[in-house]
Amino acid sequence: MTLKRVVVTGIGALTPLGNNLQDFWSGLVSGVSGANLITLFDASKFKTRFACELKNFDPLNHLDKKEARKLDRFTQTALAASDEAVNDAGIPSANLNVDRIGVVFASGIGGLITFQEEVTSFAKGDGTPRFNPFFIPKMILDIAAGHISMRHGFRGPNFSVVSACASSTNAVMEAFNLIRLGKADIILAGGSESVISEAGVGGFNAMKALSERNDDFQTASRPYDNDRDGFVMGEGAGALILEELEHAKKRGAKIYAEVAGAGATADAYHITAPHPEGLGAKNVMFAALDDAGMKAEEIDYINTHGTSTPLGDVAEVKAITDVFGEQAYKINISSTKSMTGHCLGAAGVVEAIACIMAVRDDVVPPTINHFTDDPNLDSRLNFTFGKAQKRTVNAALSNTFGFGGHNACVIVKKYNS
């Protein structure tokens, strides 16, 4: 069968760099660090006392007070980003068949804050079970997708996917496949995460996954730097309106970019560490290129997973050089996690948005916080250190990898009729 073409017609972004797409993209291009001391809880006794929190996010700007109380923060942020994407795509004013508009929305962890609050409250009590009736609906991973569909009346395919930090890239891939197979006309795809809490930070601290650079937190996220010591936790949400091309053209929708292809693989190696040779990362990039029918030399920019962990950065770079060969030295590479921190289950869609904007504006956002070269990384590669670079970006590839060995990759390109 002939697969349908899929384009991006709306974007919403709620990130540590800004509470809308424009502010987020401006922050990326300007090389702004989203890191600061934690305000969401008292972190004074924790090994890590900083994170990339949202700035001035008030759920009451998006929800009434009664409704907001029924939702975990990850769902509140999901609705905020989704509202922006829906409005950006012009969906409210269009006469559309809502039975063919779906939602595929992801989270890596879901309502951890709600879970912590409810269990802590019970543990402090006298043993009498007094739980919030919204405890379970606030916590479960799929609830953001459900609330988005109810908010906008979308009655097409509706579900969540989870693959740790690759979750929202998998959501974009699932939405892409549903549309090109003719199962829907439009799907809102993305993800959200908000686990900057005692349980979240404490849990990742126990794994020794987080940077502990408390005296220099704004430069703590240091992808590819020799002195990197772990990732910086972020939070936020991103939403994309993916739409079948002819459907978008018929209603006169603006088109940001085309989704060219996607891939998913597993390391089958370790619960948290990447395959040392970057095998799963290599295979997923090959899979995405094959799905897109593209050659390595057609990729201009790679937004890497680049978490700022000692093992992860090396494995991914090795995979890139294996996949792209000599072409790797002509590609711009950058890790926007140096600015946003690691948004966990939302990271994939947030970084896909960075790729879409790079394709639209022909600007590659930088990798900030680089001070010392790592001798284990190929210095001939262009990591876009320090500041954004102008170049023609016809196609961009976004990598995301998750605990459990999950790998997902999506390719976006300039739309050409």
Q: Which residues are catalytic?
A: 165, 305, 342
Among the listed residues 353, 349, 381, the one whose alpha carbon sits nearest the alpha carbon of residue 367: 381
DSSP, collapsed to helix, strand or coil, labels residue 169 as helix
The radius of gyration of the chain's CA atoms, rounded to the nearest angstrom, is 20
Distance spanning both ends of the chain, measured CA to CA: 21
Q: What are the backbone angles phi and psi of residue 272, rounded to the nearest 5°? A: -125, -30
Structure tokens at 363: 């600007």
* Alpha carbon distances (Å) from 324 to 97, 294, 296, 318, 340: 42, 12, 6, 10, 27
Contacts of residue 66, defined as CB under 8 A and 6 or more positions apart, other chains included, come to none
> Rounded distance, CA 336 to CA 397, Å?
13
The answer to whether 156 and 96 are in contact (CB under 8 A) is no
CA angle 283, 332, 305 (to 5 degrees): 45
Question: How much of the chain is in helix, strand and coil states, percent to nearest 5?
Answer: 40, 20, 40
> Rounded distance, CA 138 to CA 151, Å?
16
> Rounded distance, CA 120 to CA 114, Å?
10
